[in-house]
Amino acid sequence: MPSVSTTTETDTTSPDATREILGLESQCERVVVNDGAGQVVFRRLGSGSPLILLHGGHGSWLHWIRNAKQLAQSHTVWMPDMPGYGESSAVASGELTELVTTLYRCLMRVVGPTGAWALVGFSFGGVVAGCLSTMDEGIGRLALIGPVGHGARRRQLSNPLPWKHLAPEDRSETWQQVMRHNLLAQMLHKRSAVDDLALEVHWRSCLMSRFHSKRYSRSALLRESLKSYKGQALLLWGEDDVTASPEVFDLAAWATAGNCQLVVQPDCGHWAMYEASGEIEAQIHRFFD
């Protein structure tokens, strides 16, 4: 598994970004659950009822770096590296079913019965959350931020640049250009949102991603999952999220059981809880509290 070094001549890593990542890490309890299929690594923060935060594809628990401490003021926040991501074991079969069942078993061990869960999924994590809801009817509330798996048109106009040829320790000007381009192509709307912390989180997460989520993200799997979901769901997109389109923001297309709320956050892209952290945290609090 590749590691991230900060001691190269081309290294221009922001000390503030590194300090913020290490600062949050130091405040979290690192919980490792060994399952028959491997290990899942969680970060735990705060106290109160459990709030589970699932990151997106090419992601890690660090997708929640701007939100964890605020949400932990009223919840015990659980942030896994999902199987195939971050420090967790790879998914041997490469299949979503294995990822979901492994994560479910591990969550049951550390969080307990699903009736107490507040479950939030970002992007591909929304697909995973939807699959979890079909496994256990005790999951009564889902908040899905920028969820994919809707099967509808996307608005992405710029393709991401190749990055796998870059060395893990690289922080050169070329690295900066590639990471900035890719964040604006897929994750963030405003150029001002692409700060040093976003660059560093995105890079570290990409390096540690081994699960191929694209075929599931481009499917209609989430929409199918929610058709049988009996609980309450919050669907939240940034207005400028390139992974969706205006027709996806039509509540009538989702609320088959009258149990969905929809929020569109203005002037915001896909990684909404980073770009509009305060507003998204307020929506999560309103929905779950």
pLDDT of residue 256: 65
Mean pLDDT, residues 195-206 taken together:
97
Contacts of 237 (CB under 8 A, 6+ apart): 145, 146, 147, 244, 248, 249, 263, 264, 265, 272
pLDDT-based confidence at 113, cuts 50/70/90?
A: very high
* CA-to-CA separations, 146 to 100, 113, 154, 174, 279, in angstroms, rounded: 19, 26, 12, 29, 14
The pLDDT tens digits for 37-62 are 789 999 999 999 999 999 999 999 99
pLDDT over threshold 70, residue 79:
yes
Range with the poorest average pLDDT among 22-31, 187-196, 251-260, 278-287: 251-260
pLDDT over threshold 80, residue 2:
no
* CA-to-CA separations, 128 to 149, 178, 253, 282, in angstroms, rounded: 10, 28, 20, 23
Helices (H), 73-211: 96-110, 124-135, 173-182, 196-207
Q: Which residue did the predictor score with more confidence, 157 or 176?
A: 176
Query: Among 138, 146, 140, 117, which residue's Cα sits nearest to residue 222?
Result: 146
> What CA–CA distance (Å, rounded) separates 198 from 154?
23
3-state SS, residue 182: helix
The pLDDT tens digits for 148-171 are 999 999 998 899 999 999 999 999
Which amino acid, residue 155? R
> What CA–CA distance (Å, rounded) separates 169 from 12?
10
pLDDT over threshold 60, residue 234:
yes
Contact 144, 121 (CB under 8 A): yes
pLDDT over threshold 80, residue 111:
yes
> What integer best gives the mean pLDDT of the chain?
93
pLDDT over threshold 80, residue 9:
no
- The Cβ of residue 261 has, within 10 Å, a number of other Cβ atoms equal to 16
DSSP at 152: S
pLDDT of residue 97: 97
pLDDT of residue 13: 64
Contact 265, 274 (CB under 8 A): no
Residues in the chain: 289
The topology under which CATH files domain 30-288 is: Rossmann fold (3.40.50)
Helices (H), the chain: 15-27, 68-71, 96-110, 124-135, 173-182, 196-207, 214-217, 221-227, 272-275, 277-288
Instruction: Output the pTM of the full model.
Output: 0.94
Contacts of 3 (CB under 8 A, 6+ apart): 168
Mean pLDDT, residues 196-218 taken together:
97
Mean pLDDT, residues 208-214 taken together:
97
* CA-to-CA separations, 82 to 25, 78, 102, 198, 282, in angstroms, rounded: 17, 11, 9, 20, 25
pLDDT-based confidence at 252, cuts 50/70/90?
A: confident
pLDDT-based confidence at 254, cuts 50/70/90?
A: confident
pLDDT of residue 239: 97
- Domain ranges for the chain, please list them: 30-288
Mean pLDDT, residues 60-71 taken together:
98
3-state SS, residue 120: strand
pLDDT of residue 37: 76
pLDDT-based confidence at 253, cuts 50/70/90?
A: confident
- The Cβ of residue 39 has, within 10 Å, a number of other Cβ atoms equal to 15
Query: How far apart are the two ends of the chain, measured CA to CA in Å?
Result: 39
The radius of gyration of the chain from alpha carbons, rounded to an integer in Å, stands at: 18
The pLDDT tens digits for 263-283 are 999 999 999 999 999 999 999
Contact 145, 280 (CB under 8 A): yes
Mean pLDDT, residues 68-75 taken together:
97
